[in-house]
Structures are given as structure tokens and as C-alpha cells.
Structure 1
Amino acid sequence: MLALLSSGHHRGVGIQSRATATALLLLLLVLTLGVVSANEQNQAQLNCGEDDSPKGQCRNGPEALKLKLIAIASILATSVLGVCLPVFSRSVPALHPDSNIFVVVKAFASGVILATGYMHVLPDSFEFLTSDCLPEVPWSKFPFTTFVAMLSAVATQMVDSFAMAYYRKIHAKPSTGSHGKGAVKDVVAVEGGEVHAHAHGGFGQDLGDDNSRLLRHRVVAQVLEMGIVVHSVVIGLSMGASDNACTIKPLVAALCFHQFFEGMGLGGCILQGEFSLKVKAIMVFFFSITTPGGIALGIGLSNTYSESSPTALIVVGLLNACSAGLLNYMALVDLIALDFMGPKLQGSMKLQVFGYVALLLGAGGMALMAKWA
């Protein structure tokens, strides 16, 4: 197996990725506080958030709080279980990344992530940014949701491309060897732990297919987690701030399903990235804690936070649009296309059929969850 990154660079990349996720969480907290402040200023003038429908009878603060505490525990457990199953499945031969079962399960999880972007996050952004509580100009005159999602997808491609180019550059340094000036050494660690060095002439031919594939998996795992973190915190915040028990009950089950299979998709990417145990633990922690943390934050702000305030609608709507563009790009380009156009699935028509069936089942199941979440 190729050891693409040295231990120093490896730890640096993982910590940098986690620092980015931490910055996102802090940014969301600051934005939420801004929403609270704006809501307090405008609450006397806005009646958009008042619920006079029969659903308003479901509003029960104490009952909703019990359900939210149950949600924190259950979502945390299913998140940890979902993301850890692939990460620590290397000891199980049937779940090895090269096995057919792993490929099919990952296709199912990729379908879940794809449906999350199209069926959950994108419609939520449309709903927020076209709300009657926002001024007609400019929010009803321009499709901000699709525009921001498009820019987010392009930005994700840029991050993907620049990250690949950067890591290729820093890990393809020319060195003088027996093959002449400019030769490059690739370090290859075999299963038995023995290390061999292979010299290749030229600067542009330093990374082999396996090397590039490993690098690709690492970039995909880190970028995918950033998109999931944004989406998860927004979902948790909305749920934590709600006191509608009738809405929360089905939402708990839907989010458990969502987090479990989304975690399996992310866990598969983490496993294929061959990260160190420390980096794996950090990535698992951030994925698992974001939705429960968002719920806890929403509970703390439930007395002041209002989804119907203009600032909250704009901030959450734009964040959802960004997350949708990122998730849709990652699901289609870096997960589905990468696997289905790869040599393993291209070499077996039967495995392709099973993969597409699993993909459709995952996407269909997650699309069905849109009825409740």
C-alpha cells in the first residue's frame, strides 16, 4: 500500500481539516447569535412566524424537550455507529474496501448523500429564501438558491483540484539519485511492513495510479465532511429550537436513518483515505457531534431564536444552498462517478447492476424520508 504522506504532513493535513470544521462551527455560532439579535429587534413588527394552524396545538415545550434529549442520544449513537462501521471494518474480510460487499454498501450510502442534497437541503433553501417574511426584492426576483448552489459546486471543484495539485507538488520533490538528476523517489510500504524506494525519472511522472487514487480519497473525505458538518449543524439547530412535538417525533427516526447511512458513506471515504488512527478519530468525532451539538445549541436558544426572522431565513437558506451544491457535486463526481467508472465496477456487469440497485435504494429511501425531515 502506498504511503503517500509522511507522518508529519499526514498529521498536519488532518489537523488542518479539523481546524476548518471547527471554524465552521464557530462561524455558525456567531451567525446564530446574529440571528437572535436581529429577531429580537424585528419580533414586534413581524408576524410571519406565528402558527395559527391546527399544528400549533402540537406545541408543547416540556414534551418537545424530552424528545430532543432522546434525539441527542439516539442520533449521537447512530452517527458513531454508522461512521465507525466502515472505518474499523478492515479486520472483516467481507467489508474490505476491495470487496464486492463494500462496493455495494458504499453505493447505497452514496445514494443517501445524493438524495440528502437534492431532496432535503436544496428544498429547504428554496423554502427559506422564498419566504413571505423576506422582502420581495431581491429574494423573489432572483433564484438565489440555485445560483449559490452552482457557485458552491464550482468552489468544491476548485478545492478538489487545487488540493490535488498542491499535494502532488509537495510529495513529488525531485532528488538526485542513481537514475540521474531530477529522479523522484516513491516510497511504497508493502503489507509486511517492509519499505521499498523506487526511482522514476522526470518530475511529472512521480505519482502512480494507486498513489493518485489514495490522494484523491483523502481529499474527497475531507471536503465531504465539511459539507456534512454545515448541513448537520443547521438541521440540529432547527430541531433544537422547535417546540412542536408532533414534528419532532418522526424527525428523530428520520435523522437517525439519515445520520447512520450518511456516516457509512463518509466512513467508507475515510477508510479508503488510509488516514492515521488519530485523524480517523478526529473526523469521526466531528461528524458524530455536529447534529447533537446543533440540537443542544437550538435548545439553549429556543426562547429567542426564530426561523421566521429575516436574518435567520437568509443565513440558513444560503448555508443550505452552499451545502446542497457541495453534497451534490461530491455525491455525483467524487463518489458515484469515481466508483462506477472505476476498473472494479467496469470489469463486472453483474456488480454494476447490484451497485445501481443499491444506489437507487439508498436515494429512494432518503427521498422518502423527506416527508418527515
Structure 2
Amino acid sequence: MSNFNIKHIAIFFILISIFTPRVLSVVEYCGEEEDNSCVNKSKALSLKIIAIVSILITSMIGVCLPLFSRSIPALSPERSLFVIVKAFAAGIILATGFMHVLPDSFDMLSSSCLKENPWHKFPFTGFVAMLSAIVTMAIDSIATSLYSKKHKAGIVNPEIGQGQDSNDQEMGAVNAGHSHVHSHHHHGSFSTKDGVDGTKLLRYRVIAMVLELGIIVHSIVIGLSLGASSNTCTIKGLVAALCFHQMFEGMGLGGCILQTEYKFLKKAIMAFFFSVTTPFGIALGIALSSTYEENSPRALITVGLLNASSAGLLIYMALVDLLAADFMGDKLQGSVKLQIKSYMAVLLGAGGMSLMAKWA
């Protein structure tokens, strides 16, 4: 699954780089004039460079913190505190979809710059977000089913023990019998070295993969908008808000990556792609700033539809794969006190990110 994830992320970056200049090229200027007192290209460039560095650092901190939590007993996945922190991060992701990405899409696709028919005659944002959630559910379900069947057939070994030979882990298809014996020799059943059920482990990996792809889409779009802007007043607010956003969204993703029990290299690759997407988007926006106009019809349609699809994915993942999975799980169902603490964490995370909507 890791190879699948890495290949698709790489393909996504390449496609964005190739097609974005064409899709987002200026067709005509539309919209209100910017406040000239805030438009300063040289100062804006300095702020964008600061944004790239600061967002990269905060993204790395956010996504890496959970990955090193095993060294801190209180933050290990088996402890209650980890569940509470994960609930807080899930609230961040949920609010990102509802309060940031979805409203932006509504604004863009209902802009007066777009033709009355069809953009003002049909709620494309809600429609695309709904389709995105359905497609995400299908991918989530089918991927889990396929990988479960492959494991049962001996093609995939979901166990990633730090002391195991990578050939035993990755090349089960070459020697399925050996993989089966190796697994039962060390564990005696379909479970990991930490006692995590194998079916749950497969689910964790599908969740981490789909969530990361969804976050990458909206992070590229956010970075592109910031990088193409020359409005220093807008950029200043965005930098602080995005640092907060990326750190806590990274914590949510980092928690999901931690539960996949991949080896260190695979975890590092997933963390790297998350960390560089927004800075990459900013750099791409800087490169396209001479041709990209955020109020041109093509830009509004393209970014609006991407935001809508990303919102549907993030909302589904936050509600179904993160919050519902944990709150309906054995750990939280066994403790009303822990449920209340986790609910408060969700409200705190969602509330904090909702407040950020004032600036970003």
C-alpha cells in the first residue's frame, strides 16, 4: 500500500505541475479591485518565503510529534491521552472541511464572474462534495476489502515488525507459503507484534493513505492561492493561520500514520509528502503569479471544484474513519468519562479551527 501511496502522490505532483499553468491561465479579470495600499510585490515575495519556511517547519513538527509518541509512555496509542489528542486533531480536520474548504468552494462557484448558466443554476459545490464523499467511501471500502483478501491469500503480509526482514514483509507474493509460516512462527495469529488485529491494521493503512491524498489536494490549492497573491494584508493573516492549521492537521495525519505500523522509512516518506505540499503550492503560486489570476473564470471553476471534492473527502474521513471509528470502538465505549473528554477535545479542535476562518 505504501508503494501505491507514493506512486500516486508523485503522479499527482507531476500532473499539477504540468496542467496548472494551462488551466489557471488568465482569461479575463473579474471581481473587485484590490486595496492598492496592500499590494506590494517585493514585500509580498519576502512574506511568501517566510511562509514557505514557517509552514514547512510547523507541518513537520505537527506530523512528526505522533510518530515519536511511542518514546513517551503517556502518548502511546494504547493510552487514553492519545485517543483524546487524536479526537482533537480529528476536530481540526472536520472544521477544515466545513469551515474553510467548503465555504471557499461556495464563494468561488457562486461568483458573479461566472456565467449565470450553469454555475448559478445548480449547487455544484454541494453536488461535488457529496460525490466526493461517496467516492471516498467506495475507495475506503474496496481498498480494505482487496487488501484483506490479498492477506488471506498470502499475497500481503500486514505485519511490520522492526526486526523482520523487509523481504518477508514486501515480497509475500513471491513466497506466500514462507510468509504464512513466518507470520505464525512469530505471532501465532493474524495480529501484529503489538497485538493489533490484522484487519484493523489494514483499515489503518487505507485510512492513512486516503486521508493523506485528500489533505495534499487542498494543501496544494491553499498554497497556490497564497503564492499567487501580492496582497500583503491577506498574506500576513494567512501565514499565521496556516501554521496553526498545518500543525494540528499534521497531528491528525501523524496519528493515523503511527497506527499503520509501517517501518520508519515509509512513515518518514508519508510525513515528508504532507510537510512539503503547502510550501510546494506556495512556490508554484509564485512561479505562476504573472499568469495566474484568482478571479478569472477558469481559476474559480478549477479551484472551486478541487475545494469541493477535497471538502467531501475530509468531512467523510473526519466523521467516519476518525471520529465514528474511535467513538464506537471498544476503548471509548468502555468509558463514559473518556468519551466526554474526547467530545470536549473534538469541540476544542473544531472551535479553534473555526475561529481561524476569520483570517484564512
TM-score (norm 2): 0.89
Q: Which secondary structure state, in structure 1, belongs to the residue aligned with residue 249 of structure 2? A: helix
Q: 1:299 to 1:166 in 2, by over 3 A?
A: same
Aligned pair partner of 1:101 in 78, 81, 91? 81
**Structure 2 residue 289 is the aligned partner of structure 1 residue 302:** yes
Aligned to 1:145: 125
Aligned to 1:291: 278
Q: How far apart, in 1, do the equivalents of 2:88 and 2:182 lie?
A: 34
Aligned pair partner of 1:26 in 10, 14, 24? 14
Aligned to 1:16: 4
Q: How far apart, in 1, do the equivalents of 2:46 and 2:63 lie?
A: 26
Q: 1:330 to 1:174 in 2, by over 3 A?
A: closer
Aligned pair partner of 1:223 in 192, 210, 220? 210
Checking the alignment, whether the CA contact within 8 Å between 1:345 and 1:352 is kept in structure 2 is yes
Amino acid at match of 2:330: P
Q: Percent identity?
A: 62
- TM-superposed CA distance for 1:32, in Å, is 1.6
- TM-superposed CA distance for 1:143, in Å, is 0.4
1:338-367 deviation digits (Å, cap 9, x = unpaired): 011111111111111110001000000000
Matches within 5 A, 1:87-98: 87-98=67-78
Greater mean deviation of Cα atoms: 254-263 or 299-308: 299-308
Greater mean deviation of Cα atoms: 210-219 or 236-245: 210-219
**Structure 2 residue 42 is the aligned partner of structure 1 residue 51:** no
- TM-superposed CA distance for 1:163, in Å, is 0.6
**Structure 2 residue 213 is the aligned partner of structure 1 residue 213:** no
- TM-superposed CA distance for 1:188, in Å, is 5.2
- TM-superposed CA distance for 1:279, in Å, is 1.1
Aligned to 2:66: 86
Checking the alignment, whether the CA contact within 8 Å between 2:24 and 2:302 is kept in structure 1 is no
Greater mean deviation of Cα atoms: 287-296 or 300-309: 300-309
Aligned pair partner of 1:357 in 319, 339, 344? 344
Q: Which secondary structure state, in structure 1, belongs to the residue aligned with residue 187 of structure 2? A: strand
1:224-259 deviation digits (Å, cap 9, x = unpaired): 000000000000000000011011111111000000
Checking the alignment, whether the CA contact within 8 Å between 2:62 and 2:247 is kept in structure 1 is yes
Q: How far apart, in 1, do the equivalents of 2:71 and 2:335 lie?
A: 25
Q: Which secondary structure state, in structure 1, belongs to the residue aligned with residue 118 of structure 2? A: helix
Aligned to 2:358: 371
Higher Cα Rg, which structure? 1
Q: Which secondary structure state, in structure 2, belongs to the residue aligned with residue 302 of structure 1? A: coil
Unaligned runs of at least 5 residues, structure 1: 1-12, 176-183, 200-207
Q: How far apart, in 1, do the equivalents of 2:36 and 2:328 lie?
A: 50
Q: 1:101 to 1:328 in 2, by over 3 A?
A: same
- TM-superposed CA distance for 1:62, in Å, is 1.1
TM-score (norm 1): 0.86
Unaligned runs of at least 5 residues, structure 2: 156-178
**Structure 2 residue 158 is the aligned partner of structure 1 residue 171:** no
Q: How far apart, in 2, do the equivalents of 1:36 and 1:101 lie?
A: 44
Q: Which secondary structure state, in structure 1, belongs to the residue aligned with residue 188 of structure 2? A: strand
Amino acid at match of 1:259: Q
Q: How far apart, in 1, do the equivalents of 2:108 and 2:114 lie?
A: 9
Aligned to 1:113: 93
**Structure 2 residue 138 is the aligned partner of structure 1 residue 158:** yes
Q: How far apart, in 2, do the equivalents of 1:121 and 1:291 lie?
A: 14
Q: How far apart, in 1, do the equivalents of 2:187 and 2:232 lie?
A: 61
1:144-188 deviation digits (Å, cap 9, x = unpaired): 00100001000000101111111111110289xxxxxxxx95865
Checking the alignment, whether the CA contact within 8 Å between 2:63 and 2:252 is kept in structure 1 is yes
Q: How far apart, in 2, do the equivalents of 1:229 and 1:349 lie?
A: 35
1:99-133 deviation digits (Å, cap 9, x = unpaired): 11111111100000000000000001111111111
- TM-superposed CA distance for 1:139, in Å, is 0.3
Calculate the aligned-residue CA RMSD, in Å.
Answer: 1.9
Amino acid at match of 1:27: L
Aligned to 2:254: 267
Aligned to 2:321: 334
Q: Which secondary structure state, in structure 2, belongs to the residue aligned with residue 307 of structure 1? A: coil
